[in-house]
Structure 1
Amino acid sequence: MQFRDLKAQYQALKSEIDQAVSQVITDSNFISGKQVTELEKSLAEYVGVKHCIACANGTDALTLALMAWGINEGDAVFVPDFTFFSTGEVVSFEGALPVFVDVDKETFNMNPDSLEQAIKKTLAQGKAVPKAVIAVDLFGQPADYGRIRAITDKYGLKLLEDGAQGFGGSLNGKRACSFGDISTTSFFPAKPLGCYGDGGAVFTDDDLAADVIRSIRIHGKGECKYDNVRIGMNSRLDTIQAAVLQVKLKAFEQYELENVNAAAQEYTKLLKDVVKTPVVPEGYYSSWAQYTIQLKNQKVREGLQAYLKENGIPSMVYYPKPMHSQKAFEDVRQDEKDFPNTTELCDRVLALPIHPYMKQEDIMQVVDYTRNYINIYGK
């Protein structure tokens, strides 16, 4: 059994993907080919924003946004404590201060109450000036953008949506990657919409920010690539990856998103009486980058993971260590008591296999072994 079955996806889309890749090779237009521009247009239309700027990966996408805003030393950027390392890493890379924020135990996303407390505390300390919030759409579900936007507006902060896991999700009909002043996503192969390597994109309705980001991603270029008007970086999406994504986006829209939601609903129906299953509040729609259950404690989590592995079922822990405890952030260490929910989640979460091509018998196998173990050892 595969955790995220990319082989099954390829077999379903093989003829179209092979043809798309072959066309790029035949044309020998490997960098900035027409497929990149076409993909950007399709992605912008899908998300519902004016601009999509493709780039080399999801981490670069976040970096491009912070660079466009001029985030720098002396600035504070607020980041959820329960997320992948890059969300905080990009802040430190710009010389700014990452300030970690506890999350909601039900949705795994940034807790708005904790965010406002962190902003007030940072203002009171006076060591850094609050400038932006990076809200993450963790495991496929948008963050609470109604409350978070109210807070960023109140304190005059920029809002950056990290939709690396959230592409395809929505809140009250509005799609992920459209909630931030700038939003980003990742096309890492295992993401809801993934390519065959690294890739990412930036989304915005801000014309000026879009122009600056397009410049920064190609060495700060001006009128041409030999006219450099600012310090930039090299972060282009390869044409082959764009061609693959064009094919995958059609499947994603037509049936993959619906299929992965059906798999998640089946899991929840069959497991809700034995483990804590994911919560999708009213008005939210998830793209299910992960299906993450919560166990009683770390011992039960580790026991179940080992048991599943023994029986040929892969699982993953996202994430075993909170951001505030990472060695790389020891110089900006925060008080442990500020993160009760994150600390608990890191001991309890376990992601089960899920993808749009998952068969009912695979779901039942995961469910049966999970129920068997919990009924014996997890009560």
Structure 2
Amino acid sequence: MFYKFIYPLVKYFTPLNVLRYITFRGAYSAITALFIAFLFGPRIIEALRKLKVGQAIRSDGPQTHLQKGGTPTMGGVMMILSVAVSVFLWQDWNNFYVWVAFSALVGFGAIGFVDDYLKVTRKNSAGLPAWAKLVGQFAVAIAIVMSLYNYGDERITYLYLPFFKNPVLDLGYLWIPLAVLLVVWESNAVNLTDGLDGLAIGLVIMVFIALAVITYLSGRADYSAYLGIPYFAGSGELMIFCLAMIGASVGFLWFNSHPAEVFMGDVGSLSLGGVIATISLMVKKEVLVLIIGGVFLLEGMSVVLQVLSYKLTKKRIFKMAPLHHHFELSGWAETKVVIRFWIIGGLFALIALSTLKIQ
């Protein structure tokens, strides 16, 4: 809104010229999202508590988690609200990339909302049947991917790998199913990671910091040429979106830190994962995002390996999957697991950013 309706007044009031700069609008998008989360967070939590929107805890999980039963969930609504207000104020809404990213946030958030609602009304942790949730995720992912394929950059089907300046392959039509799988995978990986107070949201903050840097560089012809990464005109606006996500996530972490006052629920985790994958597709970092969110990859793979191992050998690799529960059952305190996973997540993000220079 500021950019579209207020910036034209720059000819009458020159200080408004700062609105031209993505960095300025990005900084204030983060501040705005953080402010909205701080302002409305307590009200949303209280409303969820009054509505008895409490989290149902798995009986087969670590017994220390049973005391968390009844903690308000669906806190992801707080983040979506914060981001929506922030991008409305600071984004250029004529930008194609912004619309796709915001659609991913809302689309996956809607699936998560239905899942959380069913969990709350049924008073158990089942929610949507697995097949129904996957159908919804695939439907949203296909819509996003087809939008990018039909209206995105002509290089959208190219495969870029870390450490290589030039694309190694044009995937053609094969890019569509692979991109859909990536979006669904990332959405579920973040969802699986969201099992301890502050764990998933702390990792999400690190991922979006890395994506904010990447989208800014990809939207600058000079910087992208210097680094040898693909340039996408207009993709710099995604940095504003990423910073709004960071502000909203930090605001949520304020209430989600141990002991959590609210959980994000599927409405938060599914939407966050979907947006991360969608942004990576738009700036051609489909492979690199697996490194940026390395902990999400490890958490997701731990579930896959656990299931395969049990089906094939009737033996389990881990004491419990996802991976964070394995370490809890190994004797690590919840806060120790969270902080150590954050450290590993930060290392993954730094390694991923270093590949931009080593090409």
TM above 0.5? no
TM-score range (shorter-chain normalised) is under 0.3
Q: Greater helix percent: which structure?
A: 2
Q: TM-score, normalised by structure 2?
A: 0.26
Q: TM-score, normalised by structure 1?
A: 0.25
Structure with more contact order per residue of length (Cα contacts < 8 Å, sep ≥ 6): 2
